[in-house]
Structure 1
Amino acid sequence: MKFHRNAMPIAVGLLGACISGSVLAADLAYLAHDGLYWQAAIMADDGANARLITRSAGDKTRLSWYPDGQHLLLNKADGSVVRVAIEDGSEQAIDMPLPGVLDAVVSPDGQQIAFSLSAAGVADANHIWRFTPPKGAVKQVTRMTTMQHEPAWSRDGTALYFLSGGGGQVHDVQRVDLASGNVEQLTGGSLYNFDVDEGPNGQIVYSSNRSGNYEIWVQTGSGQPQRLTDHPALDSRPAWSVDGEHIAFESARGGAMHVWRMAKDGTDVTRISPEAQLARHPAWRPSGAQQ
């Protein structure tokens, strides 16, 4: 199965505000381009105190928070996975059970890592897996005949959302219960759907081109979706705030990829990442984490 979204803009500058020393207010982690690579960065929810966390070679492709709010899990373009301290950017390699891991995300309790991978070495044969380091226990979660990728944990850690499609102009949000293995399809007949995230009230938010352009949508279960954005630029990678009152997302509005924030009803849309720095893939710091 082949699919594509709008091409990613080319990086044009360095981070506008790099701050060394002690960890400052960090409401959001995100990926920022340093002129060579996509790196992990943090900032307050109004964009203040933005700073790079990593400066190592190689693109970082996905990030998620550990529950302590002091560490990030990073998946790199080479398939490796590391745990990163936000205070000093130190990286600790995680020995994953299989090579070429994609979409790695840590569970809400910090004990497991979900990821996608094709054990057959064929891209369209990806399945969802979960791994418990450092014991090495690994389990295949999905066994569908179509591609499965981009896992996202439910807030209580009992389920995984993921994306799958049977080919053609279809790519849907699915949910698998980890205890029973039962899979529920949450979207259907609506072209491509990506980037799912669960809010505190069980609502999901995701990016979809069902209206002809990629916008941010919200829905409850398999119910009727509601569009939150309406802009000709690409809007994607939505992420609920901890309290469910705001959604951060990446958008190419303005001609370059940045992180934006809006109220849960789609109003009060504001760019929050530094203007001089390409930014994408926001993730809110978990509840109860120590500043």
Structure 2
Amino acid sequence: MRSSVEIHDIATGETRVVWQTDRLVEAPNWSRDGSHLIINGDGRLYRLGLDGSEPVEIDTGFATLCNNDHGLSPDGTTIAISDKTEFGKSAIYLLPAEGGTPRLVTRNLPSYWHGWSPDGNTVTYCGIRDQVFDIYTISVDGGEERRLTHGEGRNDGPDWSADGEWIYFNSSRTGQMQIWRIRPDGSDVTRITDSPYGDWFPHPSPDGKHLLVLSYDGDVFDHPRDLDVRLRLMDLDGGNARILFELFGGQGTINVPNWAPTGDRFAFVRYERES
């Protein structure tokens, strides 16, 4: 499988390739200073410069089975990762952005990190408890997790709005995966998309202007890899939705926050079909 890490400028509509590889890499995050991306591949994390240079591995200590749910804190000093080395199930850890020893956040498993609160004090994630997928938050210092959804379909992919007022997520509670949002205290659950697609991984832009969504064909329930998908841009309330472009991708394309700090560009991974 060939992976192409790319950047799309929403003002110009132009897309440029940052780096290509015959390895499977996934889920680019953008550094807070805009200088590089963080991607995962082969269970490890890598720092990828925007100049096309080869990626540099980030030391994640014992965590060598990292999945594609990772991201930098608002101040850029800490990386949240999801890794299954220690327990055999995905667990959330925090470690210094430059690399170091991971610190466990919650022993409730499996848990898949997806977003930081704007103040950096809380993370939001998808947790599977008794085969039920729901949205949770927890302090970066650990403690009790807060359950925001309660088994109304499958709930996944949470990401915080820049003003801290909302957590966006995807849910199948109406029978088809669509985008919803909820207050951090669990109130005011609101549907955002009413589309013919299977909508996943909503990412509000840092400037508070846009919402980026990965959309599968409507008959696709989960978020598999290797399908024709589309990236859609809309207002934060779901208005003015439009398809930016279609691509071959899915799982790994934009699983986690991927906007540039300025909110005018985003990173993603495109895949090439096997010949």
TM bracket, shorter-chain basis: 0.7 to 0.9
Cα distance, 1:104–1:216 mapped onto 2, change above 3 Å: same
Per the normalisation by structure 2, the TM-score is 0.82
Gaps of 5+ in 1: 1-35
Counterpart position of 2:151: 189
Q: State the alpha-carbon separation in 1 of the partners of residues 249 and 18 from structure 2.
A: 15
The residue type equivalent to 1:150 in the other structure is W
Q: State the alpha-carbon separation in 2 of the partners of residues 73 and 252 from structure 1.
A: 25
Alignment match of 1:237 (pick from 198, 201, 216): 201
Per the normalisation by structure 1, the TM-score is 0.78
RMSD: 2.4
Structure 1 residue 113, shift from structure 2 partner: 1.3
For the residue of structure 1 that corresponds to 2:21, the secondary structure is coil
The answer to whether residue 29 in structure 2 is matched with residue 88 in structure 1 is no
Gaps of 5+ in 2: 219-226, 265-275
The residue type equivalent to 1:194 in the other structure is D
Alignment of 1:70-109 (within 5 A): 70-76=35-41, 78-97=42-61, 98-102=63-67, 103-109=69-75
Alignment match of 2:30 (pick from 58, 61, 65): 65
The answer to whether residue 170 in structure 2 is matched with residue 227 in structure 1 is no
Structure 1 residue 92, shift from structure 2 partner: 1.4
Q: State the alpha-carbon separation in 1 of the partners of residues 206 and 27 from structure 2.
A: 19
Structure 1 residue 271, shift from structure 2 partner: 1.1
For the residue of structure 2 that corresponds to 1:272, the secondary structure is strand
Structure 1 residue 151, shift from structure 2 partner: 3.5
Question: Does the 8 Å contact 1:116/1:151 carry over to 2?
Answer: no
Cα distance, 1:216–1:89 mapped onto 2, change above 3 Å: farther
Alignment match of 1:256 (pick from 214, 228, 232): 228
Cα distance, 1:69–1:104 mapped onto 2, change above 3 Å: same
Worse-matched range after superposition: 64-73 or 248-257: 248-257
Structure 1 residue 156, shift from structure 2 partner: 2.1
How far does the alpha carbon of each residue in 1:59-104 deviate from its partner, in whole angstroms, 9 at most, with x for none?
Answer: 222221111112111011x111111112324311112112111222
How far does the alpha carbon of each residue in 1:98-127 deviate from its partner, in whole angstroms, 9 at most, with x for none?
Answer: 2111222222222211111223452xx321
Question: Does the 8 Å contact 1:208/1:216 carry over to 2?
Answer: yes
Counterpart position of 1:207: 170
The residue type equivalent to 1:156 in the other structure is D
Give the count of matched residue pairs: 249
Structure 1 residue 38, shift from structure 2 partner: 3.2
Q: State the alpha-carbon separation in 1 of the partners of residues 116 and 154 from structure 2.
A: 20
How far does the alpha carbon of each residue in 1:161-216 deviate from its partner, in whole angstroms, 9 at most, with x for none?
Answer: 11112123x21111111135332111113121111110022211111101111001
Cα distance, 1:276–1:186 mapped onto 2, change above 3 Å: closer
The residue type equivalent to 1:268 in the other structure is N
Q: State the alpha-carbon separation in 2 of the partners of residues 278 and 188 from structure 1.
A: 30
For the residue of structure 1 that corresponds to 2:234, the secondary structure is strand
Question: Does the 8 Å contact 1:46/1:272 carry over to 2?
Answer: no
The residue type equivalent to 1:178 in the other structure is V
The residue type equivalent to 1:269 in the other structure is A
Alignment match of 1:246 (pick from 210, 230, 234): 210
Structure number with the higher strand fraction is 2
Cα distance, 1:133–1:64 mapped onto 2, change above 3 Å: closer
For the residue of structure 2 that corresponds to 1:110, the secondary structure is coil
How far does the alpha carbon of each residue in 1:210-245 deviate from its partner, in whole angstroms, 9 at most, with x for none?
Answer: 111100111212013111111232111110011222
How far does the alpha carbon of each residue in 1:250-282 deviate from its partner, in whole angstroms, 9 at most, with x for none?
Answer: 112498312110111111111113x46557417
Worse-matched range after superposition: 191-200 or 175-184: 175-184
Cα distance, 1:237–1:276 mapped onto 2, change above 3 Å: closer
For the residue of structure 2 that corresponds to 1:206, the secondary structure is strand
